[in-house]
Chains A and B, each alone.
Chain A
Amino acid sequence: MEKIKTFIHHLFIPHEENNFRAKSLHTDFLTVYLVIAFLMMILFKQGSNLHNVLGFATDISIDKLYQLTNEQRQKNNLPSLVLSPTLSLAAQKKAENMFAENYWSHYSPDGKTPWDFILGAGYKYEYAGENLAKNFLFSNGVVDAWMNSDTHRDNLLKKDYTEVGYAIVNGTLNGEQTTLVVQEFGKPMAGTFSPPSVQAEEVSAPQQILAQKTVQPKVNLLNFSFNLNVVFMVFLIIALALDFYFASKFNIIRIGGKNTAHLLFLIFVLIGLFMSTIGVII
């Protein structure tokens, strides 16, 4: 116990034995962190290649989106949606079309509407709707963004819908590697179908969100690396703050970088890291 205490003291508190600088901030320790960070970067690069680059770039899955969507509906006393393979096919076709024709909208440049894809997949609907997303890192970020947007929220919590379908597809959109999330809602029409134009317009108008990610690797590398980033930055921030505090308390003057500058830099980067998990909503 005493050894651990001494080690932590040596690691975080500037004193004579660590040359009046927390050992965790010494150049040799920082070099070790750098080597570890570099090795991890290489390791994750290999991992992402194994799992299809963009597939690893985000951590969004159909299962999670479906689960979170139904959780939101249950919270609002609405019945859960049934996962429809036909709507998922429509979502897949929509995403593929968006990449093929290079657009990010509910309507394609040549005039295809969301319900064209739904009908094209063989889903005859009484009600239908669509949400789009891209550039998110995590499934909960996508659903949170939808819930924070009135129009998308209305779609998610519309009592008329009974089924839902998803597609998460990688591709290049406007020259940028992107993963699109397409969510199609519907209520199948009983009996003979005739296209209900009013409902169809309702469908497409509001929903668009952009998120990203695709194939789910067996090991959740992105989640792991994100948490690792956060933990490491928080560790550095704590080490810098403690070192600054004790150096101030003991009036220690030493050669080295400014902790205040390092802290500012790390805090800005940490904010940026969290910002990178949020996708774009249009």
Chain B
Amino acid sequence: MSKHIYFHLKKELKDHLFDYLLLFTAGIFFLILFNIFRGQRVIEFFVLISFAFFYIIWGVYHHIINETLHLKTVVEYVLIAFIIIFLLKIIILP
């Protein structure tokens, strides 16, 4: 079972190492900022929005580089980002 995941995950990460390192670094940066500004709700929310927008931009950039960009793909990234923004707003800025 894990053989398939391992193989494809390894291939995916190897083929797009820079892209995933970029996203991973942004994620770490998001958590660090979230921790630094913990309790400051407005800034926390701003940090979340920044990460969500970075994720959308990352998606567009990644698919442009790989020549797989389609409107459907962009919409998918936008939808996931905004679902998260709306849901976390309930917790962070009710």
Residues of A within 8 A of B (CB): 25, 27, 30-31, 33-34, 37-38, 40-41, 44-45, 47-48, 53, 56-57, 134-135, 137, 176-178, 210, 212, 221-222, 225-226, 228-229, 232-233, 236, 244-245, 247-249, 255-258, 260-262, 264-269, 271-273, 275-276, 278-280
Contacts and interface: CB of A to CB of B under 8 A. Distances in A.
Contacts of A37: 82-83, 86-87
A257 B73 contact: yes
A245 B39 contact: no
Interface of B: 1, 4-5, 7-9, 12-13, 20, 23-24, 27, 30-31, 34-35, 38-42, 44, 48, 51, 55, 58-59, 62-63, 68, 70, 72-73, 75-77, 79-84, 86-92, 94
Contacts of A210: 39
Contact of A264 (B1, B24, B34, B73): B24
B38 A276 contact: yes
Secondary structure of the A contact surface, majority rule: helix
Given A264-B20, A267-B27, 7 more contacts: A229-B91, A261-B23, A261-B62, A265-B23, A268-B51, A273-B88, A275-B35
Given A260-B9, A272-B34, A279-B39, A45 B94 contact: yes
B16 to A, nearest CB: 8
Contacts of A248: 4-5, 7-9
Secondary structure of the B contact surface, majority rule: helix
B38 A280 contact: yes
25 contacts: A25-B76, A30-B83, A33-B83, A37-B87, A41-B87, A41-B89, A41-B90, A134-B39, A225-B91, A226-B91, A236-B80, A244-B9, A249-B4, A258-B62, A261-B59, A264-B20, A268-B51, A269-B51, A269-B84, A271-B31, A272-B31, A276-B34, A278-B38, A279-B38, A280-B38
Contacts of A47: 94
B8 A275 contact: no
